[in-house]
Amino acid sequence: MTRTRGMAAGARDAAAGAARTVFSRRAAPFWIAVAAIIGLLAGFIGFGGLASASRTPTIVASGQEARTSLYSAAVQEVELTDAVESQFLEAEPGEQLLVVTLRLENLSDRAVGVDRSADRVESRMIVGREPMLELSGITATGTARSWRADGSVRAVILQPGVPADVTIAWPVADDDTTAEALERGTVRLDVYDAVEQSGQVILAASTISWRRADLSAQLNLEVAP
């Protein structure tokens, strides 16, 4: 029993000694440093330091450029019409055409097509389930179609580093919802970043596809009066 009491007393003395050491004046700089680190962490967390990064896309005004890793786009003109005679293009009943002229530049090192493949590259600029350019605020009712703004009817091919004015027409509903969205200025063109992906099982290794990545920017679409 005496031995057990002695061990207990020794443990208490050791604990008391450790406590005196921890809270002694010599340990003060250590505790000051700990307090400072805790304060910095609290401030970092309080100001959202551990929050996920904002993915809100940049809103880009007409005429200003939205730039991604593989291409850039800038709205030049927006028009709502029933037909584009030069392209033999006419809206279906209950629809109208939202016609947007863009300045596009191919920032990759290979030619790409706007609505079809070119030079073994599937860019998917305006076609497919996940196009790089997609309407926001209203829904397209059909497939988009593109042509050069100079009126050329041939397929639009973007050469590397050569800006081109390209017109794209999206069929949209001819109803009050579309009219109100355009009037409120909530109709935009989503611009997605792109990642190059080489050919897979059924494609040649030399074939490249542009895979849609994060939403990079939204271009304002203001219909000309």
DSSP state of 159: P
| Percent of the chain with pLDDT strictly greater than 90 | 58
pTM for the whole structure: 0.73
Cα separation, 175 vs 37, in Å, equals: 60
Contact by Cβ (8 Å): 206, 120: yes
Q: Please tell me the CATH code under which domain 58-220 is placed.
A: 2.60.40
Band of residue 155 on the pLDDT scale cut at 50, 70, 90:
confident
The confidence score (pLDDT) of residue 197 equals 84
What 97-100 contacts at long range (C-beta under 8 Å, 24+ apart), as own/partner pairs, is: 97/169, 97/170, 97/171, 97/172, 98/135, 98/138, 98/169, 98/170, 98/171, 98/172, 98/187, 98/221, 99/167, 99/168, 99/169, 100/75, 100/167, 100/168, 100/169, 100/170, 100/189, 100/221
The confidence score (pLDDT) of residue 205 equals 54
Contacts of residue 178, Cβ cutoff 8 Å, sequence gap at least 6: 96, 138, 172
- Give the pair of three-digit tokens for residue 195: 């990642």
31 vs 118, which has greater pLDDT?
Answer: 118
Cα separation, 221 vs 136, in Å, equals: 10
Span 201-215, average pLDDT: 76
The confidence score (pLDDT) of residue 200 equals 55
| β-pair partners for 220 | 188
